[in-house]
Amino acid sequence: IVAEMTGYPAELLDLDLDLEADLGVDTVKQAEVFAAVRERFGVERDPNLQLRDFPTLTHVIGWVRERTGIASSEAPAGAAPTAQAAPPVAAAAPAFAGDLDAVDALPRRIPTPALRPALAACVPTGVELGSGARILVVPDEGGVGSALAKKLVKRGADVLVVEAGTGTDELLAKVAEWTGEGGPLTGVYWLPSLDDEGRIEALDLDGWREALRRRVVALHALFHQVIDDAPFLVTGSRLGGFHGHDAAGATSPLGGAVVGFAKSYKKERAEVLVKAVDFPGSRKTSALADALVEETLADPGCVEIGRVEGQRWGVGLVEVPFAPQDAPEPGAMELGSDSVFVVTGAAGSIVSAITADLATHSGGTFHLLDLAPEPDPADADLQAYLADPAALKPRIAEQISARGEKPTPVLIERELARFERLASALAAIDAVHAAGGTAHYHSVDLRDGEAVAAVMGKVREASGRIDVLLHAAGLEISKGLAKKERAEFELVFGVKADGWFNLLKAAGDLPIGATVAFSSVAGRFGNAGQTDYAAANNLLCTIASSMRRSRPDTRGIALDWTAWGGIGMATRGSIPKIMEAAGVQMLPPEAGIAWIRRELTSGPGRGEVVVAGRLGMMATEFHETGGIDPAAFAEACAAAGPMVGEVVRDSVHDGLVVRTVLDPKEQPFLDDHRGDRVTALLPGVMGIEGMVEAARLLAPDWVLAAVEDVDFAAPLKFYRDEPRAIELVALLHPDGADLVAECRIEAERQLPGSDVPARTVHFTGRVRLSRTGPQGEQVEPPAREGAEASADDVYRMYFHGPAYQVVSSAWRAGDAAAAAFASDLPANHSPSDLPLQAAPRLIELCFQAAGLWEAGREGRLALPTHVTRAVVLGDGEQPAEGPFVVTARPTPDGFDCIVADAAGTVAVRLEGYRTIALPQDLPEDQQGPLRVVMAD
């Protein structure tokens, strides 16, 4: 059975070899083995079976004999002897080409600061810092740790404080002695990253390693030792207060390694409080200590927290699409034959494919760096591998035996992996040559600073600059903290971290157009068993962010890759099945291969980018409400307006989520808005209103400045006039001096034949908030000339009921349509005394006036599809003098509209309003009166 599953002849499967360590049968594959054994031998499932109790095939065979009574000389009826099972024929490795359309089919997610509620609106974490709590404080050199320790002692906690910079072994000895005398740790405050490491380029390799030892290597060693205590962990960093995701970029970026570790520790111990609290640079001590205590006691939903000027920030995800392929943004990179690339990890299969893509579309010069030696095309074993990897296994087994070792599957796979890397390196070299480019291969250990400096010296001599420095080298060994030894942590961490330092140090003042660091979703979200890998990846992300300060002329990019499908290590073993079970979409290789080219040539974007489809359990949150108390928002919701029902959670990744049940029988804005004159629809303008109401729940003291980039993606219908629940989602992030809320409106609907409700995003948009409102404007009101359309003429065509019959009359004003706002309209909503924040019926006046122009001149009825920008001045309800009048002027981008009163005081300015026409022509009795008014 195992031979069939692994493809290895039974004679290589020594019964006493460890299934995982020697035979390469991981935990998921072991579960599959037991399932196959039960089926083959007719054994019932044992719910109490523990895989760790069956480390070898001998153990499994003993279990079968115990359950079936089969003796060693017997076999079950009909069972095929596994020794005769032939290994499957290995198919040739598929060749993939990069595809920009495949890239654009995936979301491009950018981590961004996300405004969090005040701690008063959050639920307790459950941590107690009083009597009985045993707390370790590993301090900074600036006094925050000392201030914190005093506050903890005052609360009654038992506190151990070590000296800043204490050696790792000394730290472990002190903690072991303290816990041995008094009991396990309750929690750890880890604060070395509050210290500024200074300019990275001023460090030497020893200084770099010592700075990281203090911050993260010692942190790992500590938690490897105390993991059974499962202590809470609160860390401090000085990345700037936004974890490096603001426009200014990260300060003291080595703290990013600590944050990556913390996120993975949380994934290993989901029940434990973990907070990585980030601050701006300052001399404050007591205030920061207070903040660390506060974060320990409330909000269990968010690991990454920033504290800036009294506000709390998490890290959310915002979709930011690439610029159109045929219209790159200013500052986009052009790849050509003069482009110079330096690529590390060049012998990896994924990196080889990316190199081939970049070479094909540039024909440039490539310096390829890898630990693997330069491949020799004449190597007979390499040629045998290229012809048929599976056929090489017997030869490898003979070679292993010839040197006196047992040819276990793990050793054979290790040799095959070596040949795979040589083959990938050769493929990269051949691709560069085929594209007319130049390839220089350098075999180098990236952890060796002198060796890397020698290679970069050759790059400097040959090319004089680097256009793209691509750091893809890395090593991944997944083990939980309890099993992750210090040497292994330092190896995995060092390949990425030391390698990156050595590259940048050796580059010195060499001009670099862009750096692209290979990070991972493990760095962004954390991952169990990958504390070292996540720490290194998050470090690369914060260094990329810090380049906005240290190398402003260099685009620092870090890509958080998900697991790739079809190519690379994640396609092996049980990883695809694990990903599928976790709801994680593996990256289509044609998209991943072309992603870097798209990133470089699309625009000047920089910073961290999540490259993934469905994130599934990778992005699972740790608290059902995101750490907030929904009841804390009840009063604000009640006063917000008709579109806000109740806050249900504050998603770490998506922002505040508001649930509202709307009923056409109760709300005039639904009852009087029926597209087919039968089915109620949520008006687009009330969607805009809802976005504004939801956005201001977290920022009630901020003023509406504008609503931007609104897309009406799908109509939100209320079938059979039944109530329907909608969700308004608002993620607020800083944009200069403003706050911008990324908003969407979603709803679910149960479709026949499906057990899972279909969820649709109906509207999206951005709400811009500022400390002061927009300045007042004055315009010349449009003159009334020529024929006018009456309200009867207008609503013979439009489907709106009384509350949305906002046009009292309409006329042509030169090259634009004009319409007067109807007075004495019925109530827009119920209860009618609830405030409105976005003047929805004045924006509706703009929509309808533009529609009258299209109906009169083109004979079509069109529906809203997009608004580029809407600015509301004043409350939009009471004109200062006379009725409101709108001027809707067609532009190449749709319509620009201005609503003003009779004195010319502007109430609403609308830009870039676009529509989509319904397929049928308007009947003559509807179009005719409007054509008379609007036609030339």
Residues 340 and 333: their CA atoms lie apart, in Å, by 12
Q: Output the six-digit token pair for 467.
A: 């256009």
- Measured CA to CA, the distance from residue 178 to residue 240 in angstroms comes to 34
The token pair that represents 346 in the structure block: 């060049």
SS3 state at 35: helix
According to DSSP, the β-strands at 304-308 and 274-278 are parallel
Contacts of 168 (CB under 8 A, 6+ apart): 213, 217, 218, 221, 486
CA dihedral 662, 667, 671, 673 (to 10 degrees): -80
Quote the pLDDT of residue 29. Answer: 65
CA 257 from centre of chain: 18
CA pair distance 803, 818, nearest whole angstrom: 20
Please report the pLDDT score of residue 192 as a whole number: 98
Q: Are 526 and 485 in contact (CB under 8 A)?
A: no
Does pTM top 0.75 for this prediction? Answer: yes
Sequence-distant (6+) residues with CB within 8 A of 503 are 342, 344, 446, 452, 456, 469, 471
By three-state DSSP, how is residue 878 classified?
coil
Backbone angles phi, psi at 333, to 5 degrees: -85, 140
Tell me the residue type at 372.
A
Query: Are 119 and 299 contacting, i.e. CB atoms less than 8 angstroms apart?
Result: yes
| Blockwise average pLDDT, block size 10, the chain, 936 residues | 66 67 62 74 75 76 76 47 33 65 96 97 97 97 97 97 96 96 96 96 96 98 97 98 96 98 97 97 93 98 96 97 93 95 94 95 96 90 85 85 84 84 90 94 96 96 96 92 94 96 95 97 95 98 97 96 81 71 90 96 94 93 96 96 97 97 97 89 97 97 96 95 97 96 95 87 97 90 90 94 96 95 93 95 97 93 95 72 90 95 93 92 90 89
Strand stretches in 186-261, DSSP E = 187-190, 232-237
Pair 237, 276: CB distance under 8 Å:
yes
What is the structure's pLDDT at 23? 62
Residue found by looking up tokens 């911050």 in the block:
215
Per-residue confidence (pLDDT) for residue 397, from 0 to 100:
87
Q: Within 508-602, where are the H helices?
A: 521-525, 531-550, 575-581, 589-602
The angle, 0 to 180 degrees and rounded to 10, between the axes of the packed helices 218-226 and 168-182 is: 30
Written as six digits, the tokens of 16 are 């006493």
User: For residue 573, what pLDDT is reported?
Assistant: 62
Closest CA to 720 of 668, 770, 674, 657: 674
DSSP H helices in 403-507:
409-434, 449-463, 486-507
Residues 6+ apart with CB under 8 A from 282: 288
Q: SS3 of 267, please? A: helix
For residues 312 and 306, give the distance between their C-alpha atoms in angstroms, rounded to a whole number: 6
Phi and psi torsions of 575, nearest 5°: -60, -45
Question: What are the phi and psi torsion angles at 287 (to 5°)?
Answer: -65, -40
> Residue 897: what are its φ and ψ, rounded to 5°?
-130, 145
The set of residues, in sequence order, having a beta carbon less than 8 Å from that of 767 and lying 6+ positions away, is 691, 692, 695, 696, 704, 706, 707, 708, 730, 740, 741, 743
3-state secondary structure (DSSP) of residue 104? helix
Cβ neighbours of residue 902 closer than 8 Å, sequence gap 6 or more: 781, 879, 881, 882, 883, 885
Contact status, residue 542 vs residue 215, Cβ threshold 8 Å: no
Strands (DSSP E) along 736-796, which ranges?
738-749, 758-770, 788-790
Check residue 646 and give its pLDDT. 97
The count of other CB atoms within 10 Å of the CB of residue 634 is 12
User: Could you tell me which residues come within 8 angstroms of residue 678 by beta carbon, excluding any fewer than 6 positions away?
Assistant: none
Amino acid, single-letter form, for residue 607: G
Burial of 99-124, coded b for 16+ CB within 10 Å and e otherwise, reads bbebbbebbbbbbbbbbbbebebbbe
d(CA 144, CA 196): 13
Nearest to 887 by CA among 811, 794, 785, 818: 818
